[in-house]
Amino acid sequence: MATTEEATAELFRLARRTAFNIAPEKAEALASEVFGTDDWELRPSRTEANFYAVVEDRSIYLSFAGLASLWCLTFVAYNVIDHSSRAARQPELKAQQIDFGALWTKLNLSAYLDYARRLNRADEPWPADLAQPVPDAASDSIEGRINNLFFGALSWLLLHEIAHVHHGDSRLIPAALKIGQEYRADAFATGWVLDEAGHGIQREFRVLAITIALAWLFLHQQAKGTGYDHPAAILRFREAVFTFEVGERSAALENATYMLKALFDPETEMPTGMKAREAFAWICERIKAKFTATA
């Protein structure tokens, strides 16, 4: 079996451009205003799934397990979104519940999700029965679309860590102040991705990518619990969602609703006939109920 390093080494190499690519209209500002003339490094880590900054060294660490965990979650998310989008285009299914059971079994999605969770506790070899990333896949292929969503989600996580370096955040402060730093880093990442995204397809894609990154935070919390120096995932989710600013028929919100439901609340029957924003509000309440109890 391959190690997570072997499976994600090329993803790591490509990750350095991710923060620039997600919002190309702000790439020059990122280079000049945030990074400036100081050197910074993106470094690999061989810990459990994690992304973190060492401010003093102007370094951001991506663990191979973290890349593997996020990619596996994105693999599940893409297939759920693709399946639900196809079903929603069939008139006879619009008023019915979308059943993910057959898809879940056919593609072995539980195994990807379980592996993504386990990697948050410890690194382990990539299971032989799970597909691995194809970093050089054509952008219009299934593998390429999964990569696009993966790098979009990774960009938000990276920008969060970049914010810690940019703000000179300290680890040597009380936990309550560290939580404030985390909120500020989240706001920086979300704002950087969305502030100049307009209100078309670019914003829709970016909102969906951010939601996948937030879903990874929920997955991390399920595996590790809520740390004393980070806000609960549901609170971070709530703050980011407030800034999405998309229409009531938003494709991003519709796809995010199906994804979040399949990942975290598959057993609850979802009301039919709702528009995208209404359905997203419904799943947000379901996620709040589930994760507030465990925060």
Rounded Cα–Cα distance for residues 20 and 159 (Å): 10
Rounded Cα–Cα distance for residues 280 and 283 (Å): 5
How many independent structural domains does the chain possess? 1
Please write the tens of the pLDDT for every residue from 250-261.
Answer: 999 999 999 999
Q: Which residue segment(s) compose the domain that 16 sits in?
A: 4-292
CA nearest 11: which of 148, 112, 157? 148
- Calculate the alpha carbon distances from 115 to 75, 119, 126, 196, 273 in Å: 12, 6, 8, 36, 34
Q: Structure pTM?
A: 0.95
- End-to-end Cα separation, the chain, in angstroms: 35
Tell me what pLDDT residue 113 has.
97
Mean pLDDT score across all residues of the chain: 92
Please write the tens of the pLDDT for every residue from 141-176.
Answer: 999 999 999 999 999 999 999 999 999 999 889 988
Token representation of residue 31: 């280079």
